[in-house]
Amino acid sequence: MRAKGPLPRGPWPAKVLAGSRSSGKGRVVGFRPALWAFVAVFLLTWGGWGIAQESGRPARRTPVVEIVERCSPAVVNISTEIEEGQPAYPFFRGPRDPLWEDFFNRFFAPQWESRIRRRSLGSGVLIDRKGHVLTNHHVVLKASKIHATLASGKEFLADLVGADPDSDLAVLRIALDTDVQPIPMGRSSDLMIGETVVAIGNPFGLSHSVTTGVVSALNRSIQVGEQTYKDFIQTDAAINPGNSGGPLLNIQGELVGINTAIHGEAQGIGFAIPVDRARRIVEDLVAYGEVQPVWFGLEFQPLTPELAAYLGFSGPSSLLVAQVFPGGPADRAGLRGRDILVRVGQTDAPKPEDFRRLLQQTRANDRVPVRVYRQGRYLESVLTAEALPDEVVDTVCLKTLGIRLAEAAPVTGRGGYGEGLVVDGVVRGSQADRIGLRPGDSLIKLNDRVVRNLKEFRREFARLRFRSNVTIQILRGRYLYYVTLELGGFPS
């Protein structure tokens, strides 16, 4: 029978408090277990929420967050001031006209120059406690002033220590007076495709922006104008204008690359210079202000199947030593012509690009183990790199370009052009002969870099040895013109 009226107030009946399991009508069934279950669920839920709150902070502090906190202070915002001269013609005022400019260029030296000042932005990375900052060469190209700003907001006037246009790297120095931990250099040789990487930089002037991604590919080549840059890291971490020169970091916070370029026709495709290549260049730039070219004293060629069969070699495609220079490193190591290079350094079955990459990463006195095949036997030796001799550069210049140069007294002419180097001889039938160069011509520039003496010429010419061609500026009388010549024949 259903109980009538409201439940009684005050103390509950003893049977109710006892939690009787009886299913009789008018009684509350299983109250005590239900109450305890409710309390337990409440405590677990509330306690779990509290635990989640306590553990939420470390769970959010991912390795990427830790990398950014640790490395951002050493990422530098670089801004430059560039002053460019523009000829001003005193007898002509009006719209620019090529005919008028050609007339005044021929018969009058430009008498005034108007200065055009513009700014560029980029990034850099502090690599030691001496204040050396690594960045891209194109970030500081033609800069009259370089400003470097740390994440703290402190700004420095930076000095250019040295630059290498071929690798697009430059080293700056700031008067570091704060305790900033430089970013340690890692290794790019053991990078894995799919590995997480972090890019920090100043895209579009937005300082210390962070993007993440993975290593998409290794050993990429990109074409910029007539020059091919090789051995790049490809990543999908966003690299925008202003990121150039900034660090690409692995998940341990180590520098593995210098962000350099983006693919203009696609998103998610960026490139970075491997730190293994940058390390050697940085050492030279800090020590000498320029990269010192080295050689091993040999010439090589690809090993064709026909040559391999002739020499009795059945291994994988490798390189054939075509010539060994007397007294050079290869000669001292016991190498001979017709030896087959089956291993160079850590690379088996090397290709020409592997050897070129090795030359770019090697400094004078570095020792490189090699393994060669000779007449049915495998031999091992060690090549010791040395500075590329001047006489080798002169020989290649004569053999490849067909010109012999000499230093001369300054030649009077437009704007002081013509001082320093003159063509002393032209090889009959050579490139120089075919395009019309002749003794007495003055050589002004190699690829837009002024050369005033033989030392500067040798340095610049050796720096271009991995290029396919070179453009030189010639002064003949009062006329300036450019010619392009093919390169090749540089020994390794």
Domain count, the chain: 3
Which DSSP string corresponds to 410-433?
A: PPP-GGGTT-EEEEEEE-TTSHHH
171 & 128 share domain: yes
322 & 406 share domain: no
Size of the chain, expressed as the number of residues it contains: 492
Residue among 138, 167, 441, 442 flagged as catalytic: 138
Half-sphere exposure of 379 (CA within 13 A, CB side): 15
Is residue 26, in this structure, part of any structural domain at all? Answer: no
Is residue 45, in this structure, part of any structural domain at all? Answer: no
394 & 337 share domain: no
Residue finishing a domain among 348, 363, 387: 387
Is residue 247, in this structure, part of any structural domain at all? Answer: yes
pLDDT digits (tens, 9 = 90+) for 360-404: 778 888 899 999 999 999 999 999 988 888 888 888 888 888 888
Residue 95: its pLDDT value, please? 45
Is residue 377, in this structure, part of any structural domain at all? Answer: yes
pLDDT digits (tens, 9 = 90+) for 181-224: 999 998 988 889 999 999 988 766 667 788 888 988 888 877 66
Is residue 437, in this structure, part of any structural domain at all? Answer: yes
Three-state secondary structure call for residue 483: strand
Residue among 79, 123, 244, 442 flagged as catalytic: 244
Across-strand partners of 485?
470
Residue 96: its pLDDT value, please? 45
Distance set, CA 43 to CA 37, 39, 192 (Å)? 10, 6, 47
326 & 186 share domain: no
User: What CATH number should be reported for the domain holding residue 174?
Assistant: 2.40.10.120
364 & 231 share domain: no
Three-state SS letters, 79-129: EEEEEEEEEECCCCCCCCCHHHHHHHHHHCCCCEEEEEEEEEEEEEEECCC
Distance set, CA 87 to CA 110, 136, 378, 451, 482 (Å)? 6, 29, 64, 22, 19
Residue 436: its pLDDT value, please? 86
**DSSP E strands, 238-318:** 247-249, 255-262, 270-274, 294-295, 298-302
**Whole-number Å distance between alpha carbons of 463 and 483:** 19
Is residue 36, in this structure, part of any structural domain at all? Answer: no
- Domain extent for 358: 294-387
Asked if 318 is an active-site residue, the reply is no
**Whole-number Å distance between alpha carbons of 402 and 391:** 15
279 & 412 share domain: no
202 & 309 share domain: no
Residue finishing a domain among 257, 273, 291: 291
432 & 478 share domain: yes
185 & 276 share domain: yes
Asked if 168 is an active-site residue, the reply is yes
User: What CATH number should be reported for the domain holding residue 375?
Assistant: 2.30.42.10
List the chain residues with pLDDT less than 70: 1-58, 83-120, 203-206, 223-229, 261-267, 409-419, 488-492
**Whole-number Å distance between alpha carbons of 21 and 32:** 10
Residue among 164, 168, 231, 339 flagged as catalytic: 168
Residue finishing a domain among 268, 291, 314: 291
237 & 249 share domain: yes
DSSP letter (8 states) at residue 182: P
Cα 305–chain centre separation? 36
Q: φ and ψ at 343, to 5 degrees?
A: -150, 135
137 & 213 share domain: yes
Is residue 491, in this structure, part of any structural domain at all? Answer: no
Asked if 263 is an active-site residue, the reply is no
Residue 131: its pLDDT value, please? 92
183 & 194 share domain: yes
Whether the model clears a pTM of 0.85, i.e. scores above it, the answer is: no
